[in-house]
Structure 1
Amino acid sequence: MQSKIFFVKITLTAKLKLNHTREQKAALDAVTLSYRDALNYTSQVAFEMGKSSNQAKIQKEVYATLRERFGLGAQMACSVPRQVGATYKTLWTKVKQAKAARERNPKARRYKGLDNAPRFVSRTLSYQYQRDYSFKKGQQVSISTLAGRLVLPYEGYARHLEYIASGGAEIRAGKLWYDKRKKQYFLLVPMEIELPEPDPMTHKQVVGVDVGMRYFAVASNTSNKALFKSGKATLRKAERFQKARKSLQQKGTRSAVRRLVALSGRERRFIADTNSSLASEILKTYPHAFIGVEELTGVRNRTERRSRKGSSEKTRKANRRRAKWSYAELLGFLAYKAPLHGSMVVKVDAHYTSQTCSRCGHCSKGNRPNSGLMFVCQSCGYHLHSDLMGARNTGLRALLVRQDWASTGCLSCTPDVSDAETKAARLSRYAELRWSPDTSPRL
């Protein structure tokens, strides 16, 4: 008797380059600019309605105006209040999170995102599949504009094109996005594909990943296979973007402004490309792996040094680097790509991973002298690279999650931080983990 195979859905985003003529680009310009103006108008109306996030109430208030004044089609006139309502809902969530953080720590920053009505700058337009856009034969797509439908040829990543042509993916609402630097329109199409549902025995190895500034990522599996990715050269290159931007802003000439426009987004794209390449390198180094990463929500508020008047250049530079690099983006790329490589990513507690000895379990801030790169246990004398120690401890905690999954049949991809007693129980279990069973007190 064959066992039944279950499937899980994951979402991929296809980036399709639209091959448009000058006249077609003018039509796309008109609809994207009108849509952006409609978003800003609706945002102001929602702000005057008490910063409402209720999409139905917002739509009732602005629908007629969006149709008559901005010339939007019926479906786009519904998409605008839906997008604005979702934006206000996200901002309200951040306000509540900031309020809770201030109750715990009075020095925490107040969130100012709802002090004024949010403004939309990007010329990005939401399209509903089979209503605002649809695919045609011959690798063409039909999209709505203010003057009617346009049928445009497109190109993109071969695997994504295959999913679209074969119908092997469930296509969702897309976005028409304008690349100002290249003066080119792209259609971003989310696609859901089905993959076999993983189980605890699917993955051949358990890997822990530690992220930081001196080393963007250090990974290690239970067989001591380690991967180090230094951030020294990359940060130096990112710093040059900042210096060039500062110099051009100080000049303020017309040619400097043109150069700033050309440079806009280059640093952001460089960081995204680095994170994407690093995620792919980790997944290729550890195929079919159960990967543990640290839960780093709010890490900047916990680690950033507050800038004061007369603070040193070193402190300001360190804060600038922390604010610039996106750890969440790296971990997001890792989780996004993992299922395609037969792997899985789970979050584990980040507490004391670089201060706990994996040999004897001794946890102390003094185990890292001067917060340096070398870990020296004050109890047993074991010494190791501190980031590698963090990766090993993260891997051990991921191994514990995998064992719980195998024994209970339930998998928790994110640790529960709402219950203090549950958190304390987890940390107590982590204190019993050892990298080598030879040093375990129980044996």
Structure 2
Amino acid sequence: MRQIITAKLKLITSPEQFEALGHTQLAYRDALNAVSQYAFEQSKTSSVTRLHKGMYAELRARYHLPSQLACSVERQVAATYKGLWTKLKKNAEHRRAKITKKRFKGLDQPPHYSSPTVQYTYERDYTFQRESRVSVSTLNGRISLPYQGYDKHIALIRQGARIGDAKLWYDQARKTFYLLVSLSIEVPEPRADHLQEVVGVDVGIRYLAVTSTSTGKASFHPGKRVRHQANHYARLRKRLQQKGTRGAKRRLRRIEQRERRLKLHANHTLAKQIVEQHPHTLLGLEDLTHIRERTRRRKRKRKKNGKGYEPVSVKARKANRVYSQWSFAQLHTLISYKAALAGSLAIKVDANDTSKACPMCGHTAKENRPRKGLLFVCQQCHYCLHADLVGARNITMRALLVRQDWNRTGCLSIIPDASDREAKAARLRRYAELRWSPEVTNKPPVRDLR
């Protein structure tokens, strides 16, 4: 099994090389916007062939891009439009299913590229040389640059790891160019008998993650500090947007990058802790696809005269903002790739009713979580526990059931199939039969068939 990682290499440049890389980035960004405008005028096409026939000559003559960089521009714009068309089709399905009333506006105008990041193709736009040097393509030809980086990543490059595309990225704060190289490395294929433990991971906002082993050992990772910083940045962003000056816009960009780095650092640290605490483990994660559409507050009160709707309350707007800033997908991605490198395996299970179902008696109801708080109280058996820990235990039992099927059939499904409604309904019926026991071991969970 192959795992993709990114090596961040710092480029050591002279003043002339620094200027050459800067001109290349700006020309590449301008070319992206030109091709994006052309694709928009051509019925918002996502065809690489059509873009190549219409824009290749102009990219070479007007922006002086090398041939491979010109082709990379066309492929990148085509991929952007293809992604927007996919989102438009999903939005149409959600509107028909009345999941959302909001219309997707991503194709109302051509996408604008503001980041001057350049996409390089290995052995065409850049190659590695001896003595820790790399040759990269610019508007005026190739230049050879020394680089520095993480020792393990440099060792992988020298030992013959499969090298993919790279991005030329400029760190404005440090005034330094970096080359972000994609590396594909071989990791052992996980086997069911090598995974000694099963752990369920429940992610959230008040607690970034709560884990529970199959023997009941739990760990809590609070997110109060990250949530406090996010609220601070939201208030600051609101004031700067109202001000609207050039200095306010510059500071908006700075705090946006600062907030992104804060969340990435918190998720990296948390993922590393979870993976190191549970080596050789089958990690169960929730499949939270479309969670924002399901949790978004859309209810509005009718006006007294019966005409129109009142605006969403301040409390509802704040809740929607908090959910929109929830970086659960990033945390899941970090856990998955770190687990693969550490000899573990992360899988996803259905997230339906993980925080509403009682793990002891199976009773499922909204009333089990009074006022949607952190206390879980079963209305049938009166079992009381932390709500996020209940979710983690339910995920653990579902992951144990997946491992049981893996041992029996020899086939493993890393992500549950949500498109087949009948198959999903059958899985939910099996989940409803699972029961948690204080004496539970690493064996599959027992089903109560009474």
Which TM bucket (shorter chain)?
Answer: over 0.9
Task: State the match for 2:113 in structure 1.
Answer: 120
Cα distance in 2 between the residues matched to 1:53 and 1:261: 30
Whether 2:259 is the aligned partner of 1:271: answer no
**Per-residue displacement from partner, 1:2-25 (whole Å, max 9, x unpaired)?**
xxxxxx111111111112222211
- Residue 418, structure 1, aligned to residue 410, structure 2: no
Residue 78 of structure 1 corresponds to: 71
What does 1:148-167 align with in structure 2 at a 5 Å threshold?
A: 148-167=141-160
Q: Answer yes or no: is 1:235 the counterpart of 2:227.
A: yes
Structure 1 position 421, deviation (Å)? 1.0
Distance of aligned partners of 1:319 and 1:20 in 2 relative to their CA distance in 1, 3 Å threshold: same
Contact 2:196 2:280 in 1 (8 A): yes
Measured after TM superposition, the shift of residue 287 of structure 1 is: 1.2
Farther-moved stretch of structure 1 (107-116 vs 280-289): 107-116
The residue number in structure 1 matching 2:188 is 196
Query: How far off is 1:89 after superposition?
Result: 1.0
- 2:170 — aligned with what? 178
**Residues 425 and 252 of structure 1, relative CA distance in 2, 3 Å threshold:** closer
Whether the 8 Å CA contact 2:359–2:434 is kept in 1: the answer is yes
- What's the secondary structure of 2:385's corresponding residue? strand
Report how far residue 249 of structure 1 moved: 3.8
Q: Which is worse superposed, 20-29 or 9-18?
A: 20-29
Residue pairs, 1:42-61, within 5 angstroms: 42-61=35-54
Give the aligned partner of residue 432 of structure 2: 431
Structure 2 counterparts to residues 253-402 of structure 1, below 5 A: 253=245, 255-306=247-298, 309-402=310-403
Alpha-carbon distance between aligned partners in 1 of 2:79 and 2:247, rounded to the nearest angstrom = 39
Alpha-carbon distance in structure 2 between the residues aligned to 1:410 and 1:106: 33
Q: Secondary structure at the match of 2:147?
A: strand
- Give 1:333 shift: 1.0
Distance 2:419 2:96 in 1: 15
Cα distance, 1:314–1:39 mapped onto 2, change above 3 Å:
same
Q: CA deviation at 1:64?
A: 0.8
Which amino acid is the alignment partner of residue 234 of structure 1? V
CA contact (8 A) 1:307 1:315 kept: no
Structure 1 pair 106/329, CA: closer, same or farther in 2 (3 Å)? closer
Q: Percent identity of the aligned residues?
A: 52
Q: Are the equivalent residues in 1 in contact too, given 2:281–2:345 (CA < 8 A)?
A: yes
1:360/1:440 contact within 8 Å kept = no
Tell me if the contact between 1:208 and 1:392 (Cα under 8 Å) persists in the aligned partners. Answer: yes
Task: Call closer, same or farther: CA 1:78–1:311 in 2, change over 3 Å.
Answer: closer
AA partner of residue 212 (structure 2): S
Q: Tell whether the 8 Å contact from 2:7 to 2:181 is kept in structure 1 after alignment.
A: yes
Residues 254, 298 of structure 1: alpha-carbon distance in 2 compared, 3 angstrom cutoff: closer
Which residue of structure 1 aligns with residue 89 of structure 2?
96
Select the residue among 211, 214, 225 that pairs with 2:206: 214
Displacement of 1:177: 1.2
Q: Secondary structure at the match of 1:196?
A: coil
Name the amino acid aligned to 1:113: G
Task: Specify whether residues 190 and 340 from structure 1 end up closer, same or farther in structure 2 by C-alpha distance, changes over 3 A only.
Answer: same
Mapped partners of 2:448, 2:95: distance in 1: 42
- C-alpha distance in 2, partners of 1:430/1:422? 12
- Counterparts of 1:113 and 1:203, CA distance in 2: 43
Deviations 1:96-128 (A, max 9, x none): 111111111164322111111111111111111
Q: Deviations over 1:226-270 (max 9, x none)?
A: 111111222112222223333344444555455444434111111
Q: Distance in 2 between matches of 1:116 and 1:408?
A: 50
Amino acid at match of 1:157: Y
Runs of at least 5 residues in structure 1 that lack an aligned partner in the other structure: 1-7
User: Secondary structure at the residue paired with 1:173?
Assistant: strand
Contact 1:289 1:343 in 2 (8 A): yes
Q: Could you tell me how far apart the structure 1 residues matched to 2:425 and 2:252 are?
A: 50
Alignment CA distance shift 1:108-1:346 (3 Å): farther
CA distance in 2, matches of 1:143, 1:177: 13
Distance 1:234 1:202, change over 3 A: same
What's the secondary structure of 2:17's corresponding residue? helix
Give, in angstroms, the shift of residue 183 of structure 1: 2.4
- CA 1:385–1:65 in structure 2 vs 1: closer, same or farther (change >3 Å)? same
1:16 aligns with 2:9: yes
Question: Once the two structures are superposed, what CA deviation does each residue of 1:323-373 show, in whole Å capped at 9, x if it has no partner?
Answer: 112111111111121111111111110000011111111111111111111
Q: Which residue pairs with 1:105 in the alignment? A: 98
Q: 1:94 to 1:79 in 2, by over 3 A?
A: same
SS state at 2:193 partner: coil
Structure 1 residue aligned with 2:307: none
SS state of the match for residue 216, structure 2?
coil
CA RMSD of superposed structures (Å): 1.8
Query: Is the 2:188–2:343 contact (alpha carbons within 8 Å) kept by the matching residues of 1?
Result: no
